[in-house]
């Protein structure tokens, strides 16, 4: 077998493999920093549009998770994980072997690490077109610059941010989704706008929604308000993010709890980052919704936790401007 690397151009393959029987396999490479089970379907859709007919496509990535490898195998794509494994399949060709690592081993800490890592990943995905600096991000998050710098380094090592600190999309979203585990409580009743002192105690935050902290409608009801192609019953229990654990405790006492999820009037959640209740959207004028909405990023993270219907909704939903699809 002979390998013939060709110069990159519009008409030349990335690699030509000549087999002992005289046949040849034309290889076309696609690159990524990270491939996971969740990111692979979208990546494959994008890459497939540009794959030349008759070539053997191979994904070259700094890291391919076990789930990502399974998705590529099922799609009939070859892959090279630069950490040290090659799977190459084509007519008359099958290679599945460990190889010397082609990427430098990084520090132990990589990816979305710790609370600061979650907050930083969230901040980057809220505005993916802007590459935030360390000090700017630290000021926004109220964290020490040294902690944010370490979080940036961990993301960069995992290939989840570029050199200009712009996030790798959708890879960073799906990595963050694995760490997105809100605290949730089902309650027996729902406060109403204009409820007076009780609403003040619960920190609902109906005034000046987009510049204050307060409750934020999320998940299924919220995605319907954003215009996603999903049907929601009028009596579907809403899901809210509340600002902190203190508000959650007060709300649980005032609104009551339920024994069975099917009996809930609503679910209340505390997000892994305060940004969920600090970056709210006022949809009263265009969505007819009196409750402040969670930013589409947080709605998408909630939907991503449901591997069935939630993921199906995400596949069909692209939020309107000025928001960004990062999944």
CA distance 176 to 180: 6
Longest dimension (CA), the chain: 83
CA distance 137 to 152: 10
Question: Is residue 42 exposed (0-12), middle (13-18) or buried (19+ Cβ within 10 Å)?
Answer: middle
- 207 DSSP assignment: S
Q: Please say whether the beta carbons of 264 and 184 come within 8 A.
A: no
Q: Which tokens belong to 298?
A: 């947080």
Taken in order 185, 191, 193, 197, the sign of the CA dihedral is: negative
pLDDT of residue 324: 92
Would you tell me the crossing angle of helices 134-141 and 114-126 to the nearest 10 degrees? 100
Q: Please say whether the beta carbons of 154 and 175 come within 8 A.
A: no
Phi, psi of 129 (to 5 degrees): -80, -10
pLDDT of residue 259: 86
Q: Please say whether the beta carbons of 44 and 79 come within 8 A.
A: no
Could you identify the residue written with the tokens 């990595």? Answer: 175
pLDDT of residue 86: 93
Question: Is residue 117 exposed (0-12), middle (13-18) or buried (19+ Cβ within 10 Å)?
Answer: buried
pLDDT of residue 145: 93
What is the full per-residue pLDDT of the chain (327 aa) written as tens digits?
A: 555 544 444 445 578 887 777 777 888 888 887 888 888 888 898 888 888 887 889 999 888 988 899 999 999 999 999 989 999 988 888 899 989 887 655 544 678 989 999 999 999 999 998 878 999 999 999 999 999 999 999 998 888 998 788 999 999 999 999 999 999 999 999 987 666 677 778 999 998 999 999 999 999 999 999 999 998 898 999 999 999 999 999 999 999 999 898 999 999 999 999 999 999 999 999 999 999 999 999 999 999 999 889 999 999 999 999 999 999
Q: Which tokens belong to 167?
A: 């996030």
CA distance 116 to 266: 29
pLDDT of residue 9: 41
CA distance 244 to 190: 17
């Amino acid at each position: 077998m002979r390998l013939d690397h060709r110069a990159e151009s519009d008409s030349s393959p990335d690699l030509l493999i000549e087999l002992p029987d005289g046949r040849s396999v034309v290889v076309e490479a696609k690159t990524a920093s990270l491939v996971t089970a969740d990111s692979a379907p979208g990546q494959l859709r994008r890459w497939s549009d540009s794959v030349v007919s008759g070539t053997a496509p191979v994904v070259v990535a700094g890291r391919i998770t076990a789930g990502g490898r399974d998705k590529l195998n099922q799609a009939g794509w070859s892959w090279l994980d630069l950490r040290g494994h090659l799977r190459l399949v084509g007519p008359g060709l099958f290679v599945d072997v460990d190889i010397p690592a082609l990427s430098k081993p990084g520090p132990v800490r990589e990816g979305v690490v710790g609370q600061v890592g979650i907050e930083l990943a969230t901040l980057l995905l809220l505005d993916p077109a802007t590459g935030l600096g360390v000090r700017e991000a630290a000021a926004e998050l109220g964290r020490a610059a040294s902690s944010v710098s370490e979080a940036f380094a961990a993301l960069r090592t995992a290939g989840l941010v570029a050199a200009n600190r712009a996030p790798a999309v959708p890879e960073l979203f799906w990595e963050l989704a694995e760490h997105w585990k809100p605290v949730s409580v089902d309650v027996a009743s729902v406060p109403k706008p204009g409820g007076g002192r009780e609403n003040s105690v619960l920190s609902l935050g109906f005034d000046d929604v987009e510049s204050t902290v307060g409750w934020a409608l999320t998940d299924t009801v919220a995605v319907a308000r954003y215009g996603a192609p999903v049907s929601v019953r009028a009596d579907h229990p809403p899901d809210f993010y509340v600002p902190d654990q203190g508000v959650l405790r007060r709300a649980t006492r005032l609104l009551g709890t339920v024994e069975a999820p099917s009996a809930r009037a609503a679910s209340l959640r505390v997000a892994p980052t305060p940004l969920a209740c600090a970056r709210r959207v006022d949809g009263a004028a265009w969505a007819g919704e009196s409750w402040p909405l969670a930013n589409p990023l947080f709605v998408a993270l909630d939907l991503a936790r449901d591997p069935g219907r939630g993921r199906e909704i995400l596949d069909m939903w692209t939020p309107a401007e000025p928001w960004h699809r990062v999944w």
